[in-house]
Structure 1
Amino acid sequence: MKRTLLVTVAAFVALTIGVWAFQSEPRGIGQALAIAAPPPGPPVPEASVVDQDAPYMEACAREGLNQSECVGRLIWFKATAGNDRFHTYTFQQRIGVLVDWFRVLRADQRDDRFWAWGIINDPACCKPGDPDCPAKSAEETYGFDWCPGDDVLLKYVGKPGYVDPACGLKDAALDPDDPHSQGGKIDQRASACDLKFGTSTGALGFRKFPNPRFDAAKWQALNGGNASWSGFNASKAAATGIESDSRVSKLADASVEPPFLIGTSCGSCHIAFDPLNPPADPAHPKWENIKGLIGNQYTRMSELLGSGMPKSSLEYQMFAHARPGVTDTSAISHDQINNPGTINALINVAQRPVFKGESVTKWRKTNTCGTEKDEDKCWCEPGRNGKCWQKSTRDDDTTAIFLGGQKVVLPGVHHILKGGEDSIGALEAIQRVYFNIGSCSEQCWVNNFTDMRQLDPEQRGFGQTAFNIGQCRRDCPNFRAVEDRLQNILDFFASAESDESDLFAARANQRKAKNPAATYTRADLAADLDKEFGKGAVGRGQTVFAANCARCHSSIPESVGGAFANRDFAAPNDAHPRKVRNDFLGNDQPTAATEVGTFRCRALHSNHKPGHLYMEYASNTLHKQPPVADIPERPELKDGGRGYYRNISLVNVWATAPFMHNNAVGPEICGKPANKDNDFHRARYVGADGQLLAAQPDCVRYDPTVDGRFDLYKRSMFELLHPKERGSKRTLTNADLLLDVGIRPLDGKTEKPLGGFGQVKIAMGASAGFLNGLEYKQLVGDLFLAKRHPEQLEKTGRKALQPTLLEIADEVLKNPSRFVEILREKRDFLSANYETCTQEIENEGHRFGEDLSEADKKALTAFLATL
């Protein structure tokens, strides 16, 4: 009985989740590594015929960035911090989700790349064979774009000895207040080589590195040449003739090495088109059209990261369903909660609120450990002079931002991410982003993930565990290379590149492009908005905003700035060297998800909880935040500070529609690429029965122009203020799921299922959120206990579930071919007891303003467009 039930359990896992196909791996890979003393100096990169940093330096000059801000910008755009190995091997082989980098980055589809994937073409790169392109054919570049620095990089494909361009980084001046610089006298920063820049792939934020293990002869035999990756990406069924192999390719193993290792920088999600100066053609932008911080509202990062998976795979349907501009920050570090969120728009960062008195446990810089010998409390980097960190709990942390060359020390820490989860400091929040994109995975955190196939609660990998920041610092040189330059990145965040992009300024640029003498002022904008939305609309809208919105969407409370009714929300900060807007237009305070009423699953994100992966990046104050009692989920899903949202700043809201943390309020946007295989738009509108409506509104094609952004803003504002006109949106699977379940031995080239299980099809239209949030491990364990050890089930307080669990177990054992139907019949039971978030309609809530008059709704729309 036990063996039969365990086989059934294994089948259940494959059916109901099948998510990340973890393979076993030695634990604690980093603990045994010894850190050698630093070398005398970094190696010197080989000179390229084209200076790949030139356009970045020109952008720094255009924006008036100082040295530190410019270095931070370069790192933000280029540094992968070693995640090329993660994205080439670990993600595929350890986590089981396949990225088809050639599909995403192939040069012959460069002109369609933005429309398909929402990513932004690098203006410095070119399609091989185009006029003036140094590469005359795709054979030279293995099918990729040619980019500056490739004359050097391509020589090292299949060979050792490549010196990364990051080795040549010219660091900013030392901060004399940094304890590690000994008063600004000693440069003890880790080698910039470990930032790992590589060269561009042709898409900004995506970087390539030569693979020294590449075998040209094997590659050419497999693909018929260098320009195509067709054999590498082809399913194994072509070679084996086995049907299930049609869903597996060489992307999943290392039997053939690709020519490049691909890494991503933080900019891969945050680089975007400048609202003040959008490109004439989004597929062919110029450098002046690009900003690094606003956040890419078109990116299809989820589909990109699942680009090597068939639509029929459960992994793809669970992973690749976020809207454009939205990504699930716990998709890789999966927490079994369906919680996609928009890319953070880093606008007017210098005015972002900080919070005093929060209890924070973290590592802080010091110049000695004294007699402390415990490396979990204090550690000094070998070969350095007093470069130490000490872990302690304090409530007096500050945030330093350099403005106009002057250091401004703000008392307190920021609340970052949608629920404020990153709350131990801005520098640490930046560092955590590198983990989220794959840096230091094997040294630090991949073994703290949940192994989705591990069903034994006594074994490592059953659930998440917290990774140790101190151990990561000790064992991962990429961590140290980034950490030593975090202040440069934060300085970039506070630089002119994050300043507000006002609609009046965008329209002024439009007019100047046609007539250099043309002008357009804030007053001109107000006059035009009054014409469009009604006489006096802007002034009336300010009154409506003060009375109805400012409580949450002002960073300056009335106790500090006076009554909202008398407030100029666009007033500049006169103490700021650039006179940026004083009000961040968001208070960053935690607000109960039930008060806002929006899709609550994101608020239940759990990676920051005590004992979970990113525990050390959340403050003690956040961990102790009281549960939101009226969230309609089980009590154990509300602990650890969950259930809250940090409201979103309304600075430049005219340029960042659709709305809410999941971009669900407003029209659905899409790219409509020429290659229909890369058209990822899916129907979302459902009827009262939760099923897709036959007639779906057409999606709005990406339009980063000033007029396009403003039109999308107006349509999204209408939906925001007219909840009954929104319709209902729900994400369903958009392909049949084919699952190979159980043991399938071969009879020649024919697979024959054993134990009643074979290939199972889950019909298109299943709830993606339900699949994402099913606590299948708890369910599997309870099924076993109900059948074999009911007394243990009683100890867990789940005795009342035993009758239904026995019914499920008995029916599955008797009729395994009805497995899917059985689960469907018990859907309500599963949702009530084994689902992490039961909300499925994604565009509900935020009904504030619903009861305003139509005139006031138009006035509010007009006023917000001026902010």
Structure 2
Amino acid sequence: MINKHRKDPNSPWMQTERRMPNMALFLTTYDSFPLADAPSGKEFLTKDENVLKRGKIVFADNCARCHSSKQPDNLPKDALAQKEAWRKLVLQPDFLKNNYLSDDQRYSVQELGTNAQRALGTNAQAGSTWGQLSSLTYKEMRAEPMTLTDFDSQGKPIPLYNPLTGKNDIQFSGPSAFYRTPTLVAVWATAPFLHNNSVGDYLADPSIKSRLDRYEDAMTKLLWPERRPGVKSIKVTSEDTSLPELFPEMVRTMKFLDGLTLKLLFLPKGTPVNLVMNLNPKHFPALIEAYIDGVLHGEPRNKFKSYINERRDAGMASMLKKMLEVNTVPDFIEDRGHTYGSKLSEDDKKALIEYVKYF
């Protein structure tokens, strides 16, 4: 397809290609925004060399493997020698200069432990919307099966959290999924953290002080996972909510059932938003059938109208259960995962927070 469009010099593709040199020049103008260069930014930076050195060592031991584009030369195989090589690199005065602070590699969501909903999107897979723009390597990696779990406080895998039962009882397997390491450049200004901005509180105040307050909050929750909202990070409806317009379309395609109207189908207050947003439209008829079955509870279909009012809640409960059953990614807790620094000492965590402000 690309070769086809290249034959036409006036095609949108070729117009874009001709502009790419300018795009490359534009990208080279983008620079980092060190806190030290921000107005009054230096006031927020520690000058304690002992704290900074400790923060650098903590970063070398726990973060640099993924969050550094600079790598030690001839990294040894011995674990202790590797640690020393990383420390030597991070302690160099120019470590942060021209450092993207990311290895730009993909890591499995199961390894990261973070919410998998965005990584399990299908748009870039073969045969999908953006399939031609994703690499063969990516497609091959996605083809491998994966069992997705959460983790308990001891780091042991447990089933995913079920918002309908309040228990970790969701067993889920799907294609492999990955997140690429994000840069930490100017991370002091970009809280909340993680791919979904779930770790840390958002505040619509762009001032330097506010950004540092948000940074401190997000780093604290990153390194002390027990301080995160956890289950409360699940986005839920704030009131009884009508279903998206696609549902009415599916109702109209079904065989008419006396008494079944669109007004009956709604999401009760407190329903997880992703219980609906992670559905495949092909399952909509099954959801409506689940609602009908919940109302009838084994009674003949011609009894549906007479049970509508007294069994409406039972119908919705049955429908929500079916939504969970067919959900494409039943991973609801938004702020889980990336707990790599949770076992550090309190002093190490505080030193790391101070050092990373210099990024």
Native 8 Å contact 1:731 1:769 kept in 2: yes
Q: CA deviation at 1:713?
A: 0.6
Deviation at 1:653, TM superposition (A): 0.9
- Structure 2 residue 280 is the aligned partner of structure 1 residue 775: yes
CA contact (8 A) 1:733 1:766 kept: yes
Alignment of 1:526-541 (within 5 A): 526-527=46-47, 530=48, 536-541=50-55
Q: In the alignment, what sits opposite 1:380?
A: 7
Match of 1:651 in 2: 185
Tell me, yes or no, if the aligned pair for 1:762 and 1:820 is still in contact at 8 Å: no
Q: Is the 8 A contact 2:72 2:89 kept in 1?
A: no
Alignment counterpart, residue 763 of structure 1, candidates 268, 285, 301: 268
Matches of 1:822 and 1:571, distance apart in 2: 65
Partner residue in 2 for 1:257: none
Query: What is the CA-CA distance between 1:781 and the residue it aligns to?
Result: 6.4
User: Which residue, out of 825, 828, 842, partners 2:318?
Assistant: 825
Deviation at 1:782, TM superposition (A): 9.6
Query: Aligned equivalents of 1:560 and 1:499: distance in 2?
Result: 29
Q: In structure 2, the residue corresponding to 1:612 is in which secondary structure?
A: coil
Contact 1:571 1:583 in 2 (8 A): no
Counterparts in 2 of 1:622 and 1:559: CA distance versus 1, 3 Å: farther
Q: CA, structure 1 residues 807+754, in 2 after alignment: closer, same or farther (shift >3 Å)?
A: closer
Conserved 8 A contact 2:198-2:335? yes
Please give the secondary structure, in 2, of the residue aligned with 1:565: helix
Q: Shift of the alpha carbon at 1:609? A: 0.5
Match of 1:660 among 178, 194, 219: 194
- For residue 510 of structure 1, what is the amino acid of its counterpart? S
Contact persistence 1:544–1:856 (CA under 8 A): yes
Cross-structure match for 2:329 = 837
Q: 1:858 and 2:350 equivalent?
A: yes
Q: How many residues align?
A: 310
The whole-number CA distance in structure 2 between the counterparts of 1:616 and 1:754 is: 47
2:240 equivalent to 1:736: yes
Do the aligned partners of 2:114 and 2:338 also contact (CA within 8 Å) in 1? yes
Residue of structure 2 aligned with 1:565, choices 87, 102, 109: 87
- Aligned residue type for 1:843: D
Where in structure 2 are the equivalents of 1:218-367 lying within 5 Å?
A: 363=2
Of 129, 146, 152, the match for 1:629: 146
Mark the runs of 5 or more structure 2 residues left unpaired by the alignment: 76-81, 150-170
1:553 and 1:663 map into 2 onto residues whose CA distance is: 18
Aligned equivalent of 1:593, options 91, 101, 109 = 109
Structure-1 residue corresponding to 2:36 = 504
Aligned AA for 1:606?
T
Match of 1:605 in 2: 121
User: Structure 1 residues 821, 806: closer, same or farther in 2, change over 3 A?
Assistant: closer
Q: How far apart are the structure 1 equivalents of 2:172 and 2:332?
A: 16
Closer, same or farther in 2 for the Cα pair 1:486/1:805, shift >3 Å?
same
3-state SS, counterpart of residue 591 of structure 1? strand
Q: Distance in 1 between matches of 2:97 and 2:352?
A: 19
What CA distance in whole angstroms lies between the structure 2 residues aligned with 1:823 and 1:857? 46
Partner of 1:552: 66
The change in CA–CA distance for 1:620 and 1:770 in structure 2 (over 3 A counts) is same
Deviations 1:458-477 (A, max 9, x none): xxxxxxxxxxxxxxx85xx4
Instruction: Report the counterpart of residue 815 of structure 1 in structure 2.
Output: 304
SS of corresponding position for 1:630: strand
Equivalence for 1:846: 338
SS in 1 for 2:179: strand
- Structure with the bigger percentage of helix: 2
Distance 2:337 2:72 in 1: 26
Which residue pairs with 2:152 in the alignment?
Answer: none
Kept in 2: contact 1:783–1:809 (CA 8 A):
no
- Counterparts of 1:764 and 1:595 in 2: how far apart (Å)? 34
Q: Is the 8 A contact 1:586 1:647 kept in 2?
A: yes
Q: Deviations over 1:699-725 (max 9, x none)?
A: x4x221222211211111111111111
Secondary structure of 2:118's aligned partner: helix
Displacement of 1:756 after TM fit?
Answer: 3.2
Alignment-mate amino acid for residue 2 of structure 2:
W
Partner SS for 1:629: strand
The residue type equivalent to 1:627 in the other structure is E
Instruction: Check whether the contact 1:592–1:628 (CA below 8 A) recurs between aligned residues.
Output: no
Residue 772 of structure 1 aligns with an amino acid whose one-letter code is M
SS of residue paired to 1:558: coil
| Counterpart residue identity of residue 214, structure 2 | L
> 1:5 aligns to what?
none
Specify the SS of the correspondent of 1:567: helix
Q: Structure 1: which amino acid aligns with 2:224?
A: H
Aligned sequence identity (%): 28
Distance 1:547 1:502, change over 3 A: same
Q: SS of the counterpart of 1:605?
A: coil
Aligned to 1:74: none
Task: Report the Cα offset of residue 806 of structure 1.
Answer: 10
> Which string of whole-angstrom CA distances, capped at 9 and with x for unpartnered residues, describes residues 778-808 of structure 1?
3536999xxxxxxxxxxxxxxxxxxx89956
Native 8 Å contact 1:540 1:860 kept in 2: yes
Letter in 1 for 2:304: N
CA contact (8 A) 1:659 1:666 kept: yes
* Structure 1 residue 482, shift from structure 2 partner: 3.4
The 1-side partners of 2:341 and 2:314 are apart by 44
Cα-to-partner distance string for 1:271-329 (whole Å, 9 max, x where unaligned): xxxxxxxxxxxxxxxxxxxxxxxxxxxxxxxxxxxxxxxxxxxxxxxxxxxxxxxxxxx
Q: SS where residue 329 of structure 2 aligns?
A: coil
Query: Any unmatched runs of 5+ in structure 1?
Result: 1-361, 365-374, 382-386, 388-472, 512-519, 574-579, 670-699, 744-752, 785-803
Tell me the distance in 2 between the aligned counterparts of 1:731 and 1:819: 24
Shift of the 548–565 alpha-carbon distance from structure 1 to 2, 3 Å rule, reads same
In the aligned structure 1, how far is the partner of 2:109 from the partner of 2:235? 20
CA distance in 1, matches of 2:210, 2:133: 38
Residue 242 of structure 2 aligns to a residue whose secondary structure is strand
> For 1:484, what is the secondary structure of its paired residue?
helix
Query: What is residue 487 of structure 1 aligned with on the other side?
Result: 21
Give the whole-Å Cα distance in 2 for the aligned partners of 1:618 and 1:571.
38
> What displacement does 1:571 show?
5.5
User: Do the aligned partners of residues 634 and 807 (structure 1) sit closer, same or farther apart at CA in structure 2, a change above 3 Å counting?
Assistant: same
